[in-house]
Amino acid sequence: MNSENYYEIIQQKDHLIIIREKFDEIDPRYFTIYTNLYLIIGNNECLLIDTGCGLFPLKPVIDKLLNGKKLNVVNTHFHWDHIGANGEFDNIFIHKKERRLISRPLNLSFLKDAPNTILNRYSDINLILSPAKRITPLNGGEVFSLGGIDVEIIHNAGHSPGSISLYTDKGELFPGDLARYGMVLLPSKEYLAQVIDSLEILINLCNEKNVNELYPSHEEFNISKDILTDLSNHLKNIDDIWENRKPNEVNNAWTIEIDKFVLLINVGIKEREDFRKRLRLLK
């Protein structure tokens, strides 16, 4: 297997290409099948949203899609499955709160327990991802004018402190890992209000701009804005479903399955003893 047959290329629109990789072939413990990278193509420049897991070289694949245009590369946040190929590109944009987190090599030794043989590919790099060569910090509110299409950066803390979403003036919203059907990785219960606030920002934007095409960084894409309201409502009513939580030892988190979501909620300090007790009961 090589880069050309590893990445799935989907021409969604004239100005939007989806580059997909099978995340569950790398590590199935995260309840995630696909990782979606997005290439937005303007008349003059292009913008790549995230660089994936870094298992196979990404830049040669992207270069073939650029037609010689300048490329801007943006990380929605610092998690390893979004920054894997950062080191292949000259410059990476990321929110200022996470600039340091992509400025150093990343050790992937935590993947050693994953069962899939495709991980042997990482042995070529000794389980170390190279950092970005140069980093340009974002504040939120910046606009990339690509020629015929503008892309705005929106700061959406919650999934991580520097998580961002991207909105195009053609009516597409890229929420990163803030919202998707399937597994949603969340902070501990006491910090869920921050996630709700970020969801409300996107709900308001969708209503004001008449946006109804969402392209999350994982799983289904081109989905309705209803996902934002559905997820927000579940988080607002977290106390009503809290008794349904189950301990997830691999991810050190609570798991709550509801509707189309698997909520993976970090264990808060006050919950640690309860978490350990529930784990013991399962063994």
pLDDT at 112: 74
Question: Bigger pLDDT: 123 or 15?
Answer: 15
List the beta bridge partners of residue 218. Answer: 35
Question: Given this structure, which CATH class describes domain 3-282?
Answer: alpha beta
Return contacts of 105-113, CB within 8 angstroms, 24+ apart. Answer: 105/129, 105/130, 105/131, 106/80, 106/131, 108/80, 111/26, 111/27
Summarised one tens digit per residue, pLDDT across range 128-187 is 899 999 999 999 999 999 999 999 999 999 999 999 999 999 999 999 999 999 999 999
Got the DSSP string for the chain?
--HHHHSEEEEEETTEEEEEEEHHHH-GGGS--EEEEEEEE-SSEEEEE--TT-SS--HHHHHHHHTT-EEEEE-SS--HHHHTTGGGSS-EEEEGGGTGGGSS-EE-GGGGG---GGGGGGGGGTTEEPPPSSEEEE-S--EEE-SS-EEEEEE-TTSSTT-EEEEETTSEEE-TTSS-SEEEEE--GGGHHHHHHHHHHHHHHHHHHT--EE--SBS--SB-THHHHHHHHHHHTHHHHGGG-EEETTTTEEEEEETTEEEEEEPPGGGHHHHHHHHHHH-
CA nearest 40: which of 6, 4, 66? 66
Structure tokens at 5: 């047959």
Summarised one tens digit per residue, pLDDT across range 43-74 is 999 999 999 999 999 999 999 999 999 999 99
pLDDT at 125: 81
Q: Rounded to two decimals, what is the model's pTM?
A: 0.95
Q: From residue 191, how far is each of 173, 196, 237, 265 by CA, in Å? A: 24, 9, 14, 10
Domain range list for the chain: 3-282
Summarised one tens digit per residue, pLDDT across range 94-135 is 999 999 999 999 998 888 777 666 777 787 788 889 999 999
Q: From residue 248, how far is each of 29, 30, 49, 79, 254 by CA, in Å? A: 10, 11, 30, 19, 6
Backbone angles phi, psi at 87, to 5 degrees: -65, -10
| CB atoms closer than 10 angstroms to residue 280 | 9
CA distance 182 to 24: 13
CA distance 247 to 44: 49
pLDDT at 116: 66
User: Sheet harboring 150-155: ordered strands across?
Assistant: 143-145, 150-155, 164-168, 172-174, 213-214
Query: If 0-12 CB within 10 Å is exposed, 13-18 middle and 19+ buried, where does residue 81 land?
Result: buried
Summarised one tens digit per residue, pLDDT across range 178-233 is 999 999 999 999 999 999 999 999 999 999 999 999 999 999 999 999 999 999 99
Provide the mean pLDDT of the chain: 94
